[in-house]
Amino acid sequence: MNDVLVPTVVDEPMDFTVIAKSPAEMKAAQRSLILWAARKIQFQKQEIAEAKEQLRIAKERKWETAAWRKEVTKRENQASYFRKIKAALEAGYYIVPPFPIDILAIRTDRKEPRHMTGENRDNHDQVPSVLPIGEGRYVDPKPTRESYVEVEKRHDYKTNQMMDKQITYYYATGFEDVSFPFKLARAEVKEAAINAMGLKIFDTLGVLPRVRKPDPVVCGQIYVPNKRLWNSYEHNEAVTFFVAWWLDTKLL
Protein backbone atom coordinates (compact mmCIF):
# COMPACT_ATOMS: atom_id res chain seq x y z
CA MET A 1 0.00 0.00 0.00
CA ASN A 2 1.31 3.48 -0.84
CA ASP A 3 2.00 5.93 1.96
CA VAL A 4 -0.80 8.41 2.45
CA LEU A 5 0.29 12.03 2.60
CA VAL A 6 -1.61 14.04 5.21
CA PRO A 7 -1.94 17.66 4.13
CA THR A 8 -1.25 20.44 6.61
CA VAL A 9 -4.41 22.13 7.83
CA VAL A 10 -3.40 25.76 7.64
CA ASP A 11 -6.52 27.09 9.34
CA GLU A 12 -6.27 24.82 12.38
CA PRO A 13 -6.66 26.94 15.54
CA MET A 14 -3.36 27.83 17.22
CA ASP A 15 -4.88 27.80 20.71
CA PHE A 16 -7.29 25.40 22.37
CA THR A 17 -8.64 24.40 25.77
CA VAL A 18 -7.02 21.45 27.58
CA ILE A 19 -9.25 19.38 29.87
CA ALA A 20 -8.08 16.39 31.92
CA LYS A 21 -10.06 14.34 34.43
CA SER A 22 -7.60 11.50 35.07
CA PRO A 23 -3.83 10.80 35.06
CA ALA A 24 -4.14 9.24 31.61
CA GLU A 25 -5.81 12.36 30.26
CA MET A 26 -3.10 14.46 31.91
CA LYS A 27 -0.45 12.59 29.90
CA ALA A 28 -2.41 13.14 26.69
CA ALA A 29 -2.82 16.81 27.56
CA GLN A 30 0.92 17.07 28.16
CA ARG A 31 1.65 15.79 24.65
CA SER A 32 -0.87 18.22 23.19
CA LEU A 33 0.72 21.13 25.03
CA ILE A 34 4.20 20.20 23.78
CA LEU A 35 2.91 20.25 20.19
CA TRP A 36 1.14 23.53 20.90
CA ALA A 37 4.37 25.09 22.20
CA ALA A 38 6.25 23.84 19.14
CA ARG A 39 3.70 25.52 16.86
CA LYS A 40 3.96 28.75 18.85
CA ILE A 41 7.74 28.70 18.47
CA GLN A 42 7.47 28.16 14.72
CA PHE A 43 4.96 30.99 14.42
CA GLN A 44 7.26 33.34 16.35
CA LYS A 45 10.18 32.38 14.07
CA GLN A 46 8.10 33.48 11.09
CA GLU A 47 7.17 36.71 12.84
CA ILE A 48 10.83 37.38 13.73
CA ALA A 49 11.90 36.83 10.14
CA GLU A 50 9.22 39.21 8.88
CA ALA A 51 10.10 41.88 11.47
CA LYS A 52 13.82 41.61 10.66
CA GLU A 53 13.09 41.96 6.96
CA GLN A 54 11.02 45.10 7.59
CA LEU A 55 13.83 46.43 9.80
CA ARG A 56 16.35 45.79 7.02
CA ILE A 57 14.21 47.67 4.51
CA ALA A 58 13.75 50.58 6.93
CA LYS A 59 17.51 50.81 7.48
CA GLU A 60 18.19 50.60 3.74
CA ARG A 61 15.78 53.41 3.00
CA LYS A 62 16.86 55.45 6.04
CA TRP A 63 13.40 55.36 7.63
CA GLU A 64 12.60 55.32 11.32
CA THR A 65 13.64 51.93 12.74
CA ALA A 66 12.66 52.14 16.43
CA ALA A 67 9.26 50.46 16.01
CA TRP A 68 10.66 47.51 14.04
CA ARG A 69 13.58 47.09 16.46
CA LYS A 70 11.05 46.93 19.28
CA GLU A 71 8.98 44.40 17.33
CA VAL A 72 12.01 42.16 16.75
CA THR A 73 12.82 42.20 20.47
CA LYS A 74 9.21 41.51 21.37
CA ARG A 75 9.00 38.51 19.06
CA GLU A 76 12.36 37.13 20.22
CA ASN A 77 11.16 37.36 23.82
CA GLN A 78 7.98 35.52 22.87
CA ALA A 79 9.97 32.77 21.14
CA SER A 80 12.23 32.39 24.20
CA TYR A 81 9.13 32.17 26.42
CA PHE A 82 7.57 29.35 24.40
CA ARG A 83 10.91 27.51 24.23
CA LYS A 84 11.00 27.53 28.03
CA ILE A 85 7.40 26.34 28.19
CA LYS A 86 8.16 23.49 25.77
CA ALA A 87 11.36 22.51 27.59
CA ALA A 88 9.56 22.39 30.95
CA LEU A 89 6.76 20.24 29.50
CA GLU A 90 9.26 17.90 27.83
CA ALA A 91 11.13 17.58 31.14
CA GLY A 92 7.91 16.22 32.65
CA TYR A 93 6.68 19.25 34.58
CA TYR A 94 2.93 19.84 34.61
CA ILE A 95 1.28 23.26 34.41
CA VAL A 96 -0.78 24.06 37.51
CA PRO A 97 -2.94 27.04 38.48
CA PRO A 98 -1.11 30.32 39.26
CA PHE A 99 -0.97 29.80 43.02
CA PRO A 100 0.52 32.55 45.20
CA ILE A 101 3.92 31.19 46.20
CA ASP A 102 6.87 32.17 48.37
CA ILE A 103 9.84 32.68 46.06
CA LEU A 104 12.98 30.85 47.19
CA ALA A 105 15.16 31.24 44.07
CA ILE A 106 15.44 33.63 41.12
CA ARG A 107 17.51 33.18 37.96
CA THR A 108 19.62 36.21 37.11
CA ASP A 109 22.63 37.30 35.08
CA ARG A 110 23.28 40.36 37.23
CA LYS A 111 26.62 40.51 39.05
CA GLU A 112 25.08 42.46 41.90
CA PRO A 113 21.51 43.23 43.01
CA ARG A 114 19.65 46.46 42.45
CA HIS A 115 20.47 48.62 45.45
CA MET A 116 16.87 49.73 46.08
CA THR A 117 18.00 52.25 48.71
CA GLY A 118 15.31 53.13 51.24
CA GLU A 119 14.34 53.37 54.89
CA ASN A 120 12.63 49.97 54.90
CA ARG A 121 15.16 47.31 55.88
CA ASP A 122 13.18 44.39 54.45
CA ASN A 123 11.98 45.84 51.15
CA HIS A 124 14.85 44.71 48.89
CA ASP A 125 13.65 41.46 47.28
CA GLN A 126 15.09 41.09 43.79
CA VAL A 127 13.31 39.94 40.62
CA PRO A 128 14.60 37.51 37.97
CA SER A 129 16.27 38.66 34.77
CA VAL A 130 13.91 36.51 32.60
CA LEU A 131 16.62 34.80 30.58
CA PRO A 132 16.66 32.22 27.78
CA ILE A 133 17.15 28.56 28.69
CA GLY A 134 20.56 27.76 30.18
CA GLU A 135 21.64 31.30 31.07
CA GLY A 136 22.35 32.93 34.43
CA ARG A 137 22.38 31.39 37.90
CA TYR A 138 19.93 30.91 40.77
CA VAL A 139 20.25 33.07 43.87
CA ASP A 140 18.14 33.87 46.90
CA PRO A 141 15.71 36.74 46.16
CA LYS A 142 16.67 38.33 49.49
CA PRO A 143 20.11 39.95 49.09
CA THR A 144 22.63 40.93 51.72
CA ARG A 145 22.08 44.48 52.99
CA GLU A 146 24.09 47.30 54.48
CA SER A 147 23.09 50.69 55.85
CA TYR A 148 24.25 54.24 56.36
CA VAL A 149 22.95 57.18 58.36
CA GLU A 150 22.07 60.64 57.04
CA VAL A 151 21.06 63.69 59.06
CA GLU A 152 17.99 65.25 57.46
CA LYS A 153 15.38 67.82 58.24
CA ARG A 154 12.18 66.01 59.21
CA HIS A 155 8.91 67.12 60.70
CA ASP A 156 8.69 66.51 64.42
CA TYR A 157 5.12 65.82 65.45
CA LYS A 158 5.70 66.65 69.10
CA THR A 159 7.04 70.15 68.47
CA ASN A 160 5.35 70.59 65.07
CA GLN A 161 8.65 71.91 63.71
CA MET A 162 11.31 70.79 61.23
CA MET A 163 14.24 69.27 63.12
CA ASP A 164 17.47 67.44 62.36
CA LYS A 165 17.00 63.67 62.60
CA GLN A 166 19.23 60.71 61.96
CA ILE A 167 17.73 58.59 59.19
CA THR A 168 19.00 55.08 58.49
CA TYR A 169 18.99 54.02 54.84
CA TYR A 170 19.32 50.37 53.77
CA TYR A 171 20.55 49.10 50.42
CA ALA A 172 21.23 45.72 48.80
CA THR A 173 24.88 44.80 48.42
CA GLY A 174 25.18 41.20 47.20
CA PHE A 175 23.44 37.97 46.27
CA GLU A 176 23.07 35.02 48.64
CA ASP A 177 23.04 31.33 47.70
CA VAL A 178 19.62 29.69 47.56
CA SER A 179 18.49 28.31 50.92
CA PHE A 180 15.67 25.79 51.11
CA PRO A 181 13.01 27.10 53.54
CA PHE A 182 12.12 23.81 55.25
CA LYS A 183 14.69 22.45 57.70
CA LEU A 184 13.16 18.97 57.80
CA ALA A 185 12.31 18.64 54.10
CA ARG A 186 13.01 15.19 52.69
CA ALA A 187 16.13 14.77 50.60
CA GLU A 188 14.06 13.72 47.58
CA VAL A 189 12.22 17.05 47.58
CA LYS A 190 15.41 19.08 47.84
CA GLU A 191 16.92 16.98 45.08
CA ALA A 192 13.90 17.67 42.85
CA ALA A 193 14.31 21.41 43.41
CA ILE A 194 18.05 21.22 42.73
CA ASN A 195 17.44 19.24 39.54
CA ALA A 196 14.88 21.81 38.39
CA MET A 197 17.39 24.61 38.96
CA GLY A 198 20.02 22.64 37.08
CA LEU A 199 17.92 22.79 33.91
CA LYS A 200 17.88 26.60 34.04
CA ILE A 201 14.39 26.77 32.53
CA PHE A 202 12.35 28.41 35.28
CA ASP A 203 12.69 32.11 36.06
CA THR A 204 11.82 31.50 39.72
CA LEU A 205 11.25 28.59 42.07
CA GLY A 206 9.05 28.81 45.12
CA VAL A 207 6.84 26.96 47.58
CA LEU A 208 3.19 27.01 48.58
CA PRO A 209 1.04 27.30 50.62
CA ARG A 210 2.31 30.42 52.30
CA VAL A 211 0.74 29.91 55.74
CA ARG A 212 -0.11 26.24 56.43
CA LYS A 213 2.96 24.16 55.59
CA PRO A 214 2.49 20.49 56.52
CA ASP A 215 2.28 19.56 52.84
CA PRO A 216 4.17 22.20 50.80
CA VAL A 217 4.45 22.09 47.03
CA VAL A 218 7.57 23.20 45.18
CA CYS A 219 6.79 25.09 41.98
CA GLY A 220 8.71 26.61 39.09
CA GLN A 221 7.56 29.73 37.26
CA ILE A 222 8.14 31.03 33.74
CA TYR A 223 7.40 34.73 33.43
CA VAL A 224 5.19 36.03 30.64
CA PRO A 225 7.38 38.24 28.40
CA ASN A 226 6.98 41.91 27.57
CA LYS A 227 5.39 42.64 30.93
CA ARG A 228 6.83 45.07 33.45
CA LEU A 229 8.79 43.34 36.22
CA TRP A 230 7.75 44.92 39.49
CA ASN A 231 9.76 44.61 42.67
CA SER A 232 6.78 42.78 44.16
CA TYR A 233 6.17 39.29 42.74
CA GLU A 234 2.43 39.80 43.15
CA HIS A 235 2.32 41.97 40.01
CA ASN A 236 4.12 39.61 37.61
CA GLU A 237 2.31 37.25 35.25
CA ALA A 238 3.79 33.76 35.16
CA VAL A 239 3.02 30.18 34.13
CA THR A 240 3.42 27.87 37.14
CA PHE A 241 4.70 24.27 36.99
CA PHE A 242 4.54 21.50 39.58
CA VAL A 243 8.03 20.37 40.68
CA ALA A 244 7.63 18.34 43.89
CA TRP A 245 5.34 17.74 46.89
CA TRP A 246 5.48 15.87 50.15
CA LEU A 247 3.00 15.10 52.88
CA ASP A 248 3.58 13.95 56.44
CA THR A 249 0.25 12.46 57.51
CA LYS A 250 1.08 13.05 61.18
CA LEU A 251 0.55 16.75 60.51
CA LEU A 252 -2.94 16.37 59.07
Q: Residue 47's CB: how many other CB atoms inside 10 A?
A: 17
Number of domains in the chain: 2
Helix axes 66-90, 23-60, angle to 10 degrees: 160
The answer on 198 and 84 residing in a single domain is: no
Per-chain mean pLDDT for the chain: 86
> What pLDDT score was predicted for residue 194?
92
For 162, phi and psi rounded to 5 degrees? -80, 130
For 250, phi and psi rounded to 5 degrees? -65, -20
CA 100 – CA 88 distance, rounded (Å): 20
Does the structure show a pLDDT above 90 at 19?
A: no
Coil, strand, or helix at residue 40?
A: helix
The answer on 246 and 133 residing in a single domain is: yes
Dump pLDDT digits (tens) for 190-235.
Answer: 889 999 999 999 999 998 865 555 567 899 999 998 765 555 555 5
> What pLDDT score was predicted for residue 160?
86
Dump pLDDT digits (tens) for 70-102.
Answer: 999 999 999 999 999 999 999 999 999 888 888
Task: Look up the domain containing 57 and give its range.
Answer: 23-92
The answer on 242 and 203 residing in a single domain is: yes
Does the structure show a pLDDT above 90 at 161?
A: no
**Where is average pLDDT lowest: 6-15, 66-75, 143-152, 166-175?**
6-15
In sequence order, the β-bridge partners of residue 161 are: 156
* Residue 121 belongs to a domain: no
> What pLDDT score was predicted for residue 6?
45
Does the structure show a pLDDT above 60 at 9?
A: no
**What average pLDDT does the segment 60-77 reach?**
95
**What average pLDDT does the segment 22-49 reach?**
92
* Residue 151 belongs to a domain: no
The answer on 69 and 107 residing in a single domain is: no
* Residue 13 belongs to a domain: no
Q: Work out the burial of residue 131: count CB atoms within 10 Å of its CB; fewer than 13 is exposed, 13-18 middle, 19 or more buried.
A: middle
The answer on 74 and 134 residing in a single domain is: no
The answer on 135 and 55 residing in a single domain is: no
The answer on 109 and 199 residing in a single domain is: yes
User: Cα dist. 30→26, 141, 200, 241, 247 in Å?
Assistant: 6, 30, 20, 12, 25
Give the confidence band of 8 by pLDDT, cuts at 50, 70, 90. very low
Nearest to 189 by CA among 246, 240, 142: 246
> What pLDDT score was predicted for residue 234?
52
Does the structure show a pLDDT above 90 at 111?
A: yes
Identify whether the C-beta of residue 168 lies closer than 8 Å to the C-beta of residue 147: yes
The answer on 58 and 133 residing in a single domain is: no
CA 221 – CA 208 distance, rounded (Å): 12
Pick 250 or 235 by higher pLDDT: 250
The answer on 83 and 206 residing in a single domain is: no
The answer on 203 and 107 residing in a single domain is: yes
Pick 101 or 173 by higher pLDDT: 173
pTM of the model: 0.85
